[in-house]
Amino acid sequence: MRLLFATFQSPLHPAGPYARAIERLWWVFFAITAVIYVLMLIGFALAVRKGARRKQADLSDEATRSGARFITIALSATTVILIGLLFTSIATGRDISPVDDKVTREIKITGHQWWWEVQYAEARPDMIVETANELHLPVGERVKLILDSDDVIHSLWIPNLHGKRDLIPGYDGVLTLTADKTGTYRAQCAEFCGLQHAKMAFLVIVEPKADFERWLTAQRLPAPFPKTADQQHGQQVFLTSTCVMCHAIKGTSAGARTGPDLTHLASRRTLGAGILPNTLGNLHGWIANAQTIKPGVLMPPNPLEPNDLHALVAYLETLQ
Partner 1 sequence: MRNALLLASCLLAAAACRREQREIVHSPAASHASGGIVRLSELQPGQPTPEVEVRNASEEKAYDINEGKRLFAAYNCSGCHSHGGGGIGPALMDNYWVYGSHPENIHDTIVEGRPNGMPSFGGKIPDYQIWEIVAYVRSLSGLVNPTVAPSRDDHMQVKVAEQSKKEESTEEKKKP
- The rounded Cα 25 to chain-centroid distance in angstroms is 20
Task: Tell whether omega for the bond before 114 is within 30 degrees of 0, i.e. cis.
Answer: yes
Among 217, 241, 279, 320, binds partner 1 (CB under 8 A): 241
In angstroms, give the least distance from the CB of 258 to partner 1: 4
* Contacted by 260, from ligand HEC, Cu ion, partner 1, none: CB < 5 to 8 Å by type: ligand HEC
Contact 162, 175 (CB under 8 A): yes
Q: Residues 172 to 201: which contact partner 1 by CB under 8 A? A: 172-174, 195
Which 3 state secondary structure label does DSSP give 55?
coil
Build a one-symbol-per-residue string for 255-284: x at contacts with partner 1 by CB under 8 A, - elsewhere. -x-x--------------------------
64 binds partner 1 (CB under 8 A): no
In angstroms, how far is the first alpha carbon of the chain from the final one?
34
* Contacted by 118, from ligand HEC, Cu ion, partner 1, none: CB < 5 to 8 Å by type: none
* Contacted by 146, from ligand HEC, partner 1, Cu ion, none: CB < 5 to 8 Å by type: partner 1
197 binds Cu ion (CB under 5 A): yes
The DSSP line for 12-46 is TS--SHHHHHHHHHHHHHHHHHHHHHHHHHHHHHH
Q: What share of the chain is helix, strand, coil (3-state, %, to 5)?
A: 40, 20, 35
In terms of CB distance, is 154 or 264 closer to Cu ion?
A: 154
User: Which residue type does 196 have?
Assistant: Q
Count of residues engaged in binding Cu ion, rule: CB under 5 A: 5
Count of residues engaged in binding ligand HEC, rule: CB under 6 A: 30
* Contacted by 197, from partner 1, Cu ion, ligand HEC, none: CB < 5 to 8 Å by type: Cu ion
Find the radius of gyration of the CA atoms of the chain: 27
Beta bridge partners of 224: none
* Contacted by 240, from Cu ion, partner 1, ligand HEC, none: CB < 5 to 8 Å by type: partner 1
Residue among 7, 174, 194 nearest 107 (CA): 174
The DSSP line for 73-95 is HHHHHHHHHHHHHHHHHHHHHHH
Q: How far is 231 from 310, CA to CA, in rounded Å? A: 9
Count of residues engaged in binding partner 1, rule: CB under 8 A: 26
7 binds partner 1 (CB under 8 A): no
Among 146, 152, 216, 266, binds partner 1 (CB under 8 A): 146
Build a one-symbol-per-residue string for 89-128: x at contacts with ligand HEC by CB under 6 A, - elsewhere. -------------------------xx-------------
Helices (H), the chain: 17-53, 61-95, 209-220, 229-240, 280-289, 306-316
In terms of CB distance, is 132 or 175 closer to ligand HEC?
A: 132
Contact 167, 152 (CB under 8 A): no
* Contacted by 273, from partner 1, Cu ion, ligand HEC, none: CB < 5 to 8 Å by type: ligand HEC
In terms of CB distance, is 28 or 146 closer to partner 1?
A: 146
Question: What does the binding site for Cu ion look like in residue numbers (CB under 5 A)?
Answer: 154, 189, 193, 197, 200
Question: What does the binding site for partner 1 look like in residue numbers (CB under 8 A)?
Answer: 101, 146, 169-174, 195, 240-242, 244-246, 256, 258, 288-289, 291, 295-296, 300-303
